[in-house]
Amino acid sequence: MDKSALELFISSLDQELAPKDQIRLDKALAASQELHQERVEFLRMRELVADLRVQRSSEFVDELMSKLPQQKESSFWADIVLLSPKVAAACIIFVIVSLLGIYFMEGRLNSEIIIGVEQLTPEDAYSIQEQKVSKKREKEALPFEMPKKK
């Protein structure tokens, strides 16, 4: 069988042939029983494959739609991770390294150490309050009114 005629025939299944190629193919098909048989087999194969197209399924739609609201509600953090998994992973590593650093420097780990207030005493709080009050008094004791900014 003429191999180029078979190639031409296969091309003709999916694309329009140039007029001279179409004439050559028609002649080859008329002359070769083998090529004609190939044509029958190819067309049957294409028909069988086209039959694999699935039917519409309302169950599929219902099942999918029942999943969607949950997806939307629970997707805030998932979306962040999806948008930038590398940034999310870097943040997690940064937090872990920071916590380990604090632990090795301080020898223990608790919320006061993490936010840096473990050495504050009630007196510190009192002196901050006192500073605020004395500033207020100084302001009230001024003999003249401060000019307003324009």
Partner 1 sequence: MKSFSTPSDIELVKRAKQGDHAAFRMLVHRHEHQVRSIVIGMLGNTAESDDVAQEVFIRFYRSLGDFRGEAALSTYLSRIAINLSLNEIKRRDTRHKRLAFFHGNEMPTEEADNGVDPERHDIRDAVHKALQLLEPDFRMVIVLRLIDGYSVKETADILQLPQGTVASRLARAQEKLKDILKKWNIV
Interface contacts to partner 1, rule CB under 8 A: 7, 10-11, 13-15, 41-42, 44-46, 48-58, 60-61, 63-65, 67-69, 71-72, 75, 79, 82
CB of 91 to partner 1, least distance (A): 21
Residue 79 or residue 124: which is nearer to partner 1 going by CB? Answer: 79
Cα distance between residue 54 and residue 50, in whole Å: 10
Burial of 42 per CB tally in 10 Å (0-12, 13-18, 19+): middle
CB of 11 to partner 1, least distance (A): 7
Cα distance between residue 17 and residue 6, in whole Å: 13
Residue 54 or residue 105: which is nearer to partner 1 going by CB? Answer: 54
CB of 24 to partner 1, least distance (A): 17
Q: What string of DSSP letters covers 83-103?
A: H-HHHHHHHHHHHHHHHHHHH
